[in-house]
Amino acid sequence: MKGHVAVTTTSSCAAKQWRWKWLALTILLLVFFSMFVPLAFLLGLHNGFPVGYLSDESPPSEFFEHYGSKDGAIDPISVKEDSRVKQMLMNFTPSLPQQIVQIIARQGDGKSKSSDEGSEQPKSQSMGVPKLPIVVSNMTSTSDSRPGDRIVEDLSKGSNFYGSESSCELEFGSYCLWSKEHKEAMKDATVKKFKDQLFVARAYYPSIAKLQGQENLSREMKQNIQEHERILSEVISDADLPPLFPNKIQKMEQTIAKAKGCTVECTNVERKLRQILDLTEDETHFHMKQSAFLYHLGVQTMPKSLHCLSMRLTVEYFREPRPDMELSLAFKLEDPSLRHYVIFTRDMLAVSVTINSTVLNSKNTADMVFHLITDRQNFYAMKLWFARNPCNEAVIHVLNIDDLNQSLLNGIGLKQFSASEEFRISVRGFDQTEFLQLRTEYVSIFGHSHFLLPEIFKNLKRVIVLDDDVIVQQDLSSLWNIDLEGKVNGAVNFCKLQLGQLEIILGRNIHDRSSCLWISGLNIIDLEKWREHNVTGTYQKLLRTFHNGNEETWRTAALPTSLLTFQDHLFPLDSTLVISGLGHDYHVSEEVIKNAIALHYNGNMKPWLDLGIPMYKKYWKKFLTQGEPFMDECNVRH
């Protein structure tokens, strides 16, 4: 037992000694590496390592084949240096949108496959354009709070680069055009220069402060930074700058030049500049979104003056009720021998201009009857307005859609008042050279309330439907004699778009892919043919297909249901009858406008808004009611 105990003690001590040796060896290795790493950086061995912020995507291997070659051989040192420079340049280069990257990648794959396999591919594949679904997103409505103006973007033809006019038009609507039209001179250009100098000085200061022998430069830079900060804390525009600000700018430029001449760690400067760059990009993106939001808010919100006018008229209507002139002229409201015009509207001022222009340009006004269909909120204001401002001998009948028989409304599933809808449809060309170029078109279409026409006017045979953003420049009497050849809807075709381009939205309901779209604004409706072909029944079937019950699809469904309901019942009117685009297009010639029978201000920039296109406002203002006291009290000036 003693021998056994002795052996056990000896082996235990040997094990302890072995563990102490490993522990000592580990500590020596740690000490060695802790000394080697700082020594490697001091000796410049770290130049072989990448610096800065590396992206997840490494540069392609083909990049190295172009740089550092000598007589066909590649210099490893040159490759390393060029790769570092390339990586730093890539860090400061804004990345492409993810969709563009995918398109380019797929296009490259398609080209490589076609070159390797030598097989024929379909045209869409050879172009490298993937097929993606059309996205429908809700956009802003016009100032009359219309639920329309959606955007239909054809992403199946790729995506545009950020910063281009097309993508800006797609994302922010007409704000880009409006901002260019109202561009003002910068009042803070010098202040921005102060900020730029301050950013660069702050980026260099931490590195300069650590250098030995540069105490004076460090002190000078710190003093200049403090002076710039003090000036920027007190000024907003160039007019607020102190008298000696040019000396401050020159002094800071000299200090920054000295700092750039010093040997500093580029990583620190690059990191600081990247932080500033990220902050600036975030701030820029925020301001762009804010500008777009404020623009759309200004478009879809009723201006204060117009809201005041509507409220004052409503209060006045109940304060001093006037005799209803429509009762004395009730026999005209259902007389099919007269000329009946129908307007669905929420905007009292806009529809008054439409009626004024139609009446003033008509040779005979005694047989004109205007039916204004609106909601309860605007009903009383419109009643009083046209009682105070009659239009010659024309009869103006204001109808509240909420007073209609509920069974009539529920018959077509109408949930709320829906005037003409406006959509922005964005598509791309099929040509390979143009698939990145976005083309945006504005289309106005019938709302859901329009499909009540044959039920509301049971005794009428033909009506002309006008939008409230239309003005008439010539007599429309000749339109009542046009033979629609058995068709239901006489409309102007919009051949810049075809039904086949909206196949993903319209589905398999298209009868002719090459058919042009039709637009509202001025439409001749044959109510007898409407009832004969049961157009409302067709609309109800299509509505069940495109409407799934929520509010968003209810509004969006107006586009496919209106287009498809009338696709076999359209009579094309002369394209020069109505000139569209005066609410978004800056390039409509004055000669074309003067020769047109009617002008349609479709788009976001309505003429009664401050955002309206100035060169087109004069045609609208010409028919604005004058001498109305309520307009002066509410400061309605146009």
* All structural domains of the chain with their residue ranges: 189-300, 304-626
What amino acid is encoded at 605 in this protein?
M
Confidence of residue 7 (pLDDT cuts 50, 70, 90): very low
Q: Could you give the CA distance from residue 611 to residue 605 in angstroms, rounded to a whole number?
A: 5
How much is the pLDDT for 137?
Answer: 37
How much is the pLDDT for 412?
Answer: 63
How much is the pLDDT for 195?
Answer: 83
Burial label, 577 (beta-carbon count in 10 A; 0-12, 13-18, 19+)? middle
Confidence of residue 2 (pLDDT cuts 50, 70, 90): very low
Give the best-scoring range by mean pLDDT among 248-257, 418-427, 531-540.
531-540
Average pLDDT, the chain: 75
With beta carbons less than 8 A apart as the criterion, state whether 468 and 447 touch: no
Helix (H) or strand (E) holding 545: helix 535-546
Of 165-169, 197-201, 401-405, the least confident:
165-169
Could you tell me the two tokens for 599? 């002008």
Mean pLDDT computed over 272-289: 78
Q: Which CATH architecture has domain 304-626?
A: Alpha-Beta Complex (3.90)
User: Residue 109: which residues within 8 A CB-CB, separation 6 or more?
Assistant: none
Please state, for a pLDDT cut of 90, what percent of the chain lies above it. Answer: 28
Unique residue bearing structure tokens 């038009």: 169
Give the pTM: 0.62
User: Residue 131: which residues within 8 A CB-CB, separation 6 or more?
Assistant: 124, 156
pLDDT of 117 above 70: no
Unique residue bearing structure tokens 């959606």: 150
Unique residue bearing structure tokens 């259902």: 334
φ, ψ (nearest 5 deg) of residue 341: -115, 135
How much is the pLDDT for 323?
Answer: 67
User: Residue 554: which residues within 8 A CB-CB, separation 6 or more?
Assistant: 415, 448, 547
pLDDT of 342 above 90: yes
pLDDT of 405 above 90: no
What pLDDT, in 10s, does the model give residues 286-301? 877 777 777 666 666 7
pLDDT of 76 above 50: no
Q: Could you give the CA distance from residue 165 to residue 137 in angstroms, rounded to a whole number?
A: 20
The total number of residues shown for the chain amounts to 638
User: Residue 528: which residues within 8 A CB-CB, separation 6 or more?
Assistant: 461, 462
Mean pLDDT computed over 235-239: 79
Which of 320, 318, 309, 297 shows the shortest CA–CA distance to 350?
Answer: 309
Specify the DSSP class assigned to residue 53: P
Q: How many CA atoms lie within 13 A of 299 on its CB side?
A: 28
Q: Strand 462-466 relative to strand 516-526: parallel, antiparallel, unpaired?
A: antiparallel
pLDDT of 328 above 50: yes
pLDDT of 113 above 90: no
Confidence of residue 180 (pLDDT cuts 50, 70, 90): low
Give the best-scoring range by mean pLDDT among 158-162, 366-370, 407-411.
366-370
Q: What is the DSSP string of 74-116?
A: EPHHHHHHHHHHHHHHHHHSPPPPHHHHHHHHHHHHHHHHHHH
Q: What is the DSSP string of 587-637?
A: T--HHHHHH-SEEE--SS--TTSTTS-HHHHHHHHTTS--S-HHHHHTT--
Q: Strand 73-74 relative to strand 69-70: parallel, antiparallel, unpaired?
A: antiparallel
With beta carbons less than 8 A apart as the criterion, state whether 471 and 359 touch: no
How much is the pLDDT for 518?
Answer: 93
User: Residue 504: which residues within 8 A CB-CB, separation 6 or more?
Assistant: 133, 134, 154, 156
Mean pLDDT computed over 535-559: 84
Confidence of residue 143 (pLDDT cuts 50, 70, 90): very low
Q: Which strands make up the sheet holding 368-374, listed edge to edge?
A: 395-400, 368-374, 339-344, 462-466, 516-526, 489-498, 570-573
What pLDDT, in 10s, does the model give residues 465-505? 999 999 999 999 999 999 999 999 999 999 888 888 888 88
Q: How many CB atoms lie within 10 A of CB 140?
A: 24
pLDDT of 50 above 50: no
Of 225-229, 352-356, 415-419, the least confident:
415-419
> 165-172 and 266-300 helices cross at what angle (nearest 10)?
50
How much is the pLDDT for 290?
Answer: 77
Nearest-Å Rg of the Cα atoms of the chain is 36
pLDDT of 163 above 90: no
